[in-house]
A and B are shown apart, each in its own frame.
Chain A
Amino acid sequence: MSALLNKKYLPFYATVFVFIAIFLIGGAMYKNFLTTRVLGNILADNSFIIIAAIGATFVILSGGIDLSIGSMIGFVGVSMAVLDSMGWNPLATAVLMLAFGFAFGAFQGWVIDGLDIQPFIITLAGLFLLRGACFMVTINSVPINHEWADLYTDIKIRLPGKGLLRSSAIVMLVSLAIGIFVAHFTRFGTNVYALGGDKESARLMGVNVRRTTVMVYAVAGLYSALAGVVYALYTKSGYPLAGSTLELSAIASVVLGGTLLTGGVGMVAGTLFGGMILGLISTLIIFNGSLNSAWILISSGILLFAFIVLHRFLVGSFDHNRQ
């Protein structure tokens, strides 16, 4: 019980509370808001952001940052679409893309640890590199027509009420479960927390810093690539500008989910609610109909501000100076 009341988890509880509160407010304002149909749609529409954000959670827990997420989503999307038009099976391209994401992330992690350069700058180069690669693959919007893609999008689970759990939402929930398991029940997960808490102490305790860093970015690359696959199959197309600035939404989801950007504190499960809060806000503003989309940006900013200040005061007592 005392573990449950740990101050570390307060941001997570706050996130869940805010999510439920916004959902209830929406229900009070609009008749058809508080339904599993809306919930299912929010889960499906934001699945790729949340998947990418799960990977970003690992990076941020380790005290790093990954800016290459959006470009990875775009690159995976155009590659899938172009390979599809060349007659490849979507399943084969998906596996190839996941392997690519893992390898690319591992390379970024290797450079970050090997050359001792800030992750911000290396993954920024990764952002440019992958976005440039998108344009080299194609500069057009390419459709995905394979029958397997249709099979995938047809997978649905009925929820109580009129809601549907679509395939992308299912993929997201499964990858979330795997992420939670890896973060909290494996040695790798423990090492990630240790690394984010204090790199030097982690090293002295026997954590293999290089291997953990490489793995963290590899996992993030894998999740970003998976987000790209889900996005491509969900929209059934590849577009070289797809996913621009999505890394920001992913990082915002992680922060709203209660993970500290200083590393070492946070929960993978929180990221789900962080991403869902962002999805809820845009759904509410779309439900309203008369509000401009500018309000999505502004209200996300206000929420971000509130949460960051909350974190600051809740965890200020055990906050240490960042690296």
Chain B
Amino acid sequence: MTDTNAKTGRFHGLLQSRAIWPLLALALILIVDGIISPNFYDIRIVEGRLFGNLIDIFYRAVPTAMVALGMAIVIGTKGIDLSVGSIAAISGAIIAWRIQAGDPHGVVLFYAVGAGAICGMWNGGLVAILGIQPIIATLILMVSGRGIGMLINLFYGGTNPSFQSDLLQGLSTGSIAYIPTRLIVFAVLFVVVWLVLRRTALGLFVEATGGNAAASNLAGVNAKLIIFVAYVICGIMAGWAGVILTADTHTSDPVSVALYIELDAILAVVIGGGSLAGGRIYLGMTVIGALVIQALTTSILISGLPPEYNLIIKALVVLFVLVLQSEKARRGLMTKLWGKA
């Protein structure tokens, strides 16, 4: 305990040291990539858009990073949202349905993201109002959400309907001034979430609620409302991921779209230093976490290793990062190395 007291003075330094691990991991992966493949860092312009491995890592990380931002807030409230992949599937099914119904595509975008918000309200209601444990509450939508997406497809357009939309496909696969549009979309969303969290008291309230819901309630924070809002934001971000992923293939495929994205998103949050015990939100580091995951996948692809190794290496890196972040493991290692000092 005295150990902790001595460290509070250097709290900022401690924070920095927490942040250094994921950045180091990302740097290490990129350096190894450079050694394996000499032209790894090359960036060229093809058909009016930047191309290259580095751009590709950002490009492919966008859906996971979007979901991870929302997940970071939910995890900040000591919650978890398993249903994000299903929400993306519902949002994709709604896109295919409303485009075939002939709605203006801007309105369709609104519907898709709005569906995410409604799903978030459902989750938030279960957790905040009924007081159900988050992992179970969101399990319900996780199990049934892809079924809902399949039903929407079934009633309007058959199995895996495809669609054409310049607006939505432009958002997902287009580019503006050489920069892939989805990176711009993500940047805008990131800034909005950051502003809402850090330029209002919401972020503080979320962290207070996650740290100790009862105490923050006594301090006058409406913990239920805060938790509810966190799930709605998470739903909206999952809806956006659904838009990007569905527009990418211009097909609604509820069975396999965003499969396992909840796991990657939770990993991104944890790699970024967030604790599932709640009370902390690191938005920037969460994005780094998503980039670490994608960089890893990309480097396995370019290294010429069979893609079968992808999951194993991912698991080992995750374990490694977790061990580094575990207080208990670090303390144990210190004691081993320097005795009882």
Contacts and interface: CB of A to CB of B under 8 A. Distances in A.
Contacts, number: 125
Nearest to A304: B140
A132 B297 CA distance: 13
B240 to A, nearest CB: 23
Interface stretch (B8-16, B224-232, B305-313): B305-313
A262 B147 contact: no
Given A125-B318, A132-B315, A294 B80 contact: no
B142 A125 contact: no
Contacts of A316: 131
Contacts of B144: 297-298, 300-302, 304
Interface residues of A, number: 45
A117 B326 contact: yes
Contact of B328 (A116, A296, A298): A116
A30 interface: no
A132 B310 contact: yes
B316 interface: yes
Contacts of B204: none
Given A122-B322, A124-B267, A126-B315, A298 B148 contact: yes
Nearest to B319: A125
Interface residues of B, number: 46
Contacts of A297: 143-144, 146-147, 150
B154 A292 contact: yes
B308 A125 contact: no
A181 interface: no
A251 B139 contact: yes
A304 B141 CA distance: 10
A32 B258 CA distance: 40
Counting from the closest, the 5 A-B pairs by CB-CB distance are: A301-B144, A297-B147, A132-B311, A132-B312, A135-B308
26 contacts: A114-B329, A115-B322, A116-B327, A117-B326, A118-B276, A120-B276, A121-B266, A122-B322, A124-B318, A128-B311, A128-B318, A129-B315, A132-B310, A132-B313, A136-B312, A139-B308, A248-B143, A261-B135, A294-B146, A294-B150, A294-B151, A296-B147, A301-B145, A304-B139, A304-B143, A308-B137
